[in-house]
Amino acid sequence: MTRPIKVLQFICPTGFYGAERWVLALAKHLDPQKVDCELAVTMEPSQKKLELVSEYNKLGLASHIVPMQNKFDLSAVSKLAALIKANNIDIIHTHGYKSDIIGVLAARKAGIKSVVTPHGFENAKDIKLRVFIWLGCQAMKYGTKVVPLSQQLLSDVLRMGVNKNKTLYIQNGVDLSEVEATIAPVRPQDGEKRIGFVGQMISRKNIVDILDVFESLHQKHPNTRLLLLGDGDSRQELESYSQNLKSKNNIEFLGFRDDRLALLKSFDLFVMTSTLEGIPRCLMEATAASIPVAAYNIAGIDQLISHQETGLLATLGDKETLLTYWEELLFDTEHATKLAAAAKDYVYQHYSANRMAAEYTELFSELVGLD
């Protein structure tokens, strides 16, 4: 092939979170002489302007809108297939349950290859969402290649029945230049300790445990504040839950913020209590910003944080131990700084976006050579 490979990144955005930022980072680091990387997103009537599209266009790359009348508008398959043909797309690269279903079907209809990248699986309680997730997992089986972000996700897709020969592991990478370029805000000299979380407010993030641990912390250390950045289906329920806590006046739900990275750099401690993860981008950004980390020890997080080496990890659900780790990192500054520095070094050494983009370029080249 004498021209660059035309790859269409396809995602059904829920905001501007890890998966959306990952798509942007990959596109930014692909060599345009080898890969012409375009973007397609779905747009429903109630959706607001998509920040992913704005940021993608700033890279000088083409983007496309696939209109949907509702969340389950299957006419999107034909629309996407027509877009693929009109723009001479060679490969579609999908991200997320809905995009996997629509994207894989559209690829088959248009007669092109498809790459599916799972970013994480939701242990949802809602039966409709569970069915939707199941359909997305079934769609993966019909993709040309399934490329998970972590070893745990690779194990998950094999357990779901994806043919091992269809899988390829490319270790996650992230563009950390944005973190480096962000200036930390000036903090008031009031001695307040700021604990923070950044991410989607969905069930698998288990944010209620963060609220519970903070409630215990605040009773012992009143000069503390919890900042929660992000949005999602669980936000209203979490805000209602927080109103019954004694620490409610020191808990802030900040929603999605354009100054997310500046706020991140104002944290004294970054916390996670997820029950299920891929490799969290927000956690990579926290380590890049030299913020100490305390979290539950689950697959995905353990690829970034090693206990007592690059952070502190408690057993899933052990809120009492996690509380002691919060206290240790908040009030033993020397130890916290040492762990944070080690975590930053580890992420920069092992999770380069340039390395990830080079491996995807090799995959795309192999796929177009299969014809």
Per-residue model confidence as pLDDT tens digits over 59-70: 999 999 999 998
The answer on 331 and 301 residing in a single domain is yes
Spell out the residues 6+ positions from residue 371 whose beta carbon is closer than 8 angstroms to its own.
none
What CATH code is carried by the domain that includes residue 226? Answer: 3.40.50.2000
Q: Answer yes or no: do 55 and 121 share one domain.
A: yes
Total structural domains in the chain?
Answer: 2
311-336: pLDDT as tens digits: 999 999 999 999 999 999 999 999 99
What per-residue confidence (pLDDT) applies to 235? 96
- Residue 238 sits in the same domain as residue 215: yes
For residues 76 and 166, membership in a common domain is answered with: yes
**Residues 6 or more apart whose Cβ sits within 8 Å of residue 335:** 328, 329
Same domain, 81 and 151: yes
Q: Are residues 315 and 296 in the same domain?
A: yes
d(CA 168, CA 190): 50
- The per-residue pLDDT for range 219-259, each reduced to its tens digit, is 999 999 999 999 999 999 999 999 999 999 999 999 988 89
Residue 214 burial (C-beta neighbours within 10 Å; 0-12, 13-18, 19+)? buried
CB atoms within 10 A of CB 181: 8
pLDDT at position 27 is: 96
Task: Examine the domain organization and report whether 13 and 155 are in the same domain.
Answer: yes
Do residues 20 and 137 both lie within one domain? yes
Among the listed residues 4, 59, 16, 18, the one whose alpha carbon sits nearest the alpha carbon of residue 41: 16
Range of the domain at 33: 5-173+352-368
* Same domain? 74 vs 143: yes
The verdict on 190 and 282 lying in the same domain is: yes
Pair 115, 255 in one domain: no
The reported pLDDT for the residue numbered 107 is 98
Backbone angles phi, psi at 20, to 5 degrees: -65, -40
What pLDDT is stored for residue 249 in this prediction? 98
Q: What is the pLDDT of residue 370?
A: 47
Residue segments in the chain with a per-residue pLDDT below the cut of 50: 370-371
pLDDT value, residue 1? 65
Tell me, yes or no, whether 161 and 20 share the same domain: yes
pTM, to two decimals: 0.71
